[in-house]
Amino acid sequence: MFNSLKEYGLDENLLKECSSEEFSCARVVRVHHSGYELQTEGGRVTALLPGRWKREKELIAFPAVGDWILYEEKSKTTLIQHILQRKNLLKRKKRHWAYSKPIAANIDGVVLVQAFGQDLNFRRMQRIFTLLIAQGFKVSFVFNKVDLVTEEDRNRISQQLRSLGVETDTFFTSTKTGEGMDELQKLFFPRKTYTLLGSSGVGKTSIVNALFGKEVFATQETMKTGKGKHTTTVRRLVRVPGGALLIDTPGTRDFSIEEYVNEVGDEAFPLIHQYAQYCKFRDCTHQHEPGCAVREAVEQGEIEKTVYEDYLHFIQHAIKNSPKQKR
C-alpha cells in the first residue's frame, strides 16, 4: 500500500495519518498561482483549496511544496482538505512583510548554493546559514561555477569557512565541465527531500538538470552585471535519478533575521560558542564584560576578527530589529 508515495518520501510516521476512509493522501510537488500539483498514488493531479482557506491570514497555514496533505474529489474538482503534521517548515520573511512565506516543508537537508562571481557575498551566506541552523536544518554548501575562478579563489573560500568553525559538507561544482557533480550526487539519498536555496543565477536549476543528465528545465545565462536571472518562477519538487527528491526554488537573496532573534545564539557561530563556555559570566555578550574568553581568543588570533565582527553585526542587528525593541 502507498508504494508509489513511499518513493516520494512517505514514511511510517505518516502512514497512519494517510490511512483515511474519507480522504486520499498526496504530496504537494508544485505550487503556482492557479493551484497546487499533487503526487498521488495514481499519478499527478491539480488541486484547489476550499473556500474556508480564504479566512486564513498567515501564509504558513497554506500548503507548501513538500507538504503531505489529504484531498478529496468533489464534482470533478480535487480539493485539499488537510495538511498533515509537518516535520519542519522552511520559511522566509522580509522586514516589510506582515507574515512569513513558506518555502518548503518536510525537508531532510538544505543545500545553500552560491556561485563565484560578483554576487558571491560571504556575509550574506553566513547570515542565511546562521538562520537555517537556528531553525534546526542540516545545511550543506555548494560553490558553483568553479570553472570561472582559480585554485587560489577556492582556497580563499575554504579558509573563510574554516575560520567560521563550520563543519559541514562543502562542494565546488561546475555544471558546464561536470566538475564536482559526482561528489555532490553522493549527498542525496533515495526518498529523502532536499531543497536548493540561493540567489537567482547561481545555477540551482542547472544543478538539477546535471543530476538528471539532461536539460529537464530551461535555464538562462547570467547577466553581464554578474547578477542572475530568474529561471525558476514556481517552487517544485522533482525526483531525480537515484531516487532523491529535490525542491528547486525561485532565487532567494536574503532572509529577515528579526523573527529569529530569540532562536539565534552562540551555537550558530561554532567558534564563538566554543570559547563562550569559558567566559567569566554566563550571560556574557562578548563585548565589554571582564573575563570574556571570546574577546581574549580574538586578541590571540584564535578567532578571526572578521568572524567576531560578523557575530556582533548579526546579534546587534537582530536585537535592533526585534519586535520587543520596536515597542
- Looking at the structure, do residues 122 and 221 belong to the same domain, yes or no? yes
User: Looking at the domain assignment, is residue 98 inside a domain?
Assistant: no
Sequence-ordered strand ranges (E) for the chain: 24-32, 35-40, 43-47, 68-74, 77-83, 89-92, 101-105, 109-115, 139-144, 170-172, 193-197, 235-239, 245-248
Asked if residue 200 and residue 121 are part of one domain, the reply reads: yes
For cell 560571504, the residue is: 122
Average pLDDT over residues 117-124: 72
pLDDT the model gives residue 32: 84
pLDDT at residue 224 above 50?
no
HSE-up of residue 152 (Cα within 13 Å, Cβ side): 0
Q: 3-state SS string over the chain?
A: CCHHHHCCCCCHHHHHHHCCCCCEEEEEEEEECCEEEEEECCEEEEEECCHHHHHCCCHHHCCCCCCEEEEEEECCEEEEEEECCCCCEEEECCCCCCCCEEEEECCCEEEEEEECCCCCCHHHHHHHHHHHHHCCCCEEEEEECHHHCCHHHHHHHHHHHHHHCCCCCEEECCCCCCCCHHHHHCCCCCCCEEEEECCCCCCHHHHHHHHHCCCCCCCCCCCCCCCCCCCCCCEEEEECCCCCEEEECCCCCCCCCHHHCCCCCHHHCHHHHHHHCCCCCCCCCCCCCCCCHHHHHHHCCCCCHHHHHHHHHHHHHHHHHCHHHHC
Is residue 97 over pLDDT 80? no
In this structure, what C-alpha cell is assigned to residue 313? Answer: 553585526
- The owner of cell 499527478 is 44
Q: Is residue 322 part of a domain?
A: yes
pLDDT higher at 81 or 268: 81
Provide the H-helix boundaries in 1-96: 3-6, 12-18
Q: Looking at the structure, do residues 185 and 277 belong to the same domain, yes or no? A: no
Q: How many CA atoms lie within 13 A of 132 on its CB side?
A: 25
In this structure, is residue 91 part of a structural domain?
Answer: no
Look at residue 110 and tell me whether its pLDDT is greater than 50: yes
Same-domain status, 272 and 310: yes
Range of the domain at 210: 107-248
Q: What is the pLDDT of residue 220?
A: 47
Residue 143 maps to which CATH number? Answer: 3.40.50.300
Whether residue 228 has pLDDT greater than 50:
no
Mean pLDDT for the stretch of residues 177-204: 90
Taking only the tens place, the pLDDT of each residue in 241-257 is: 999 999 988 755 555 55
Same domain for 123 and 242?
A: yes
Looking at the structure, tell me whether residues 140 and 217 fall in a common domain. Answer: yes
Task: Express each pLDDT in 279-327 by its tens digit.
Answer: 999 888 898 899 999 999 999 988 888 788 878 877 776 666 555 554 4
Do 42 and 126 lie in one domain? The reply is no
Bridge partners (DSSP) listed for residue 77: 74
Handedness of CA 192, 198, 200, 201 (dihedral sign): negative
Q: How many residues does the chain have?
A: 327
Last residue of a domain, one of 248, 275, 309: 248
Average model confidence (pLDDT) across the chain? 81
Please state the domain count of the chain: 3
For the ranges 22-31, 199-208, 261-270, 304-313, which has the lowest average pLDDT?
261-270
Check whether 136 has a pLDDT greater than 50. Answer: yes
Other CB atoms within 10 Å distance of the CB of residue 6: 15
Here the CATH number for the domain that contains residue 271 is 1.10.40.50
Whether residue 241 sits in one domain with residue 113: yes
Tell me, yes or no, whether 89 lies in a domain: no
Co-location of 122 and 243 in the same domain: yes
Indicate whether 253 belongs to any domain: no
Domain identity same for 229 and 269: no
Task: Tell me, yes or no, whether 17 and 142 share the same domain.
Answer: no
| % of the chain residues with pLDDT over 70 | 81
Q: Are residues 298 and 208 in the same domain?
A: no
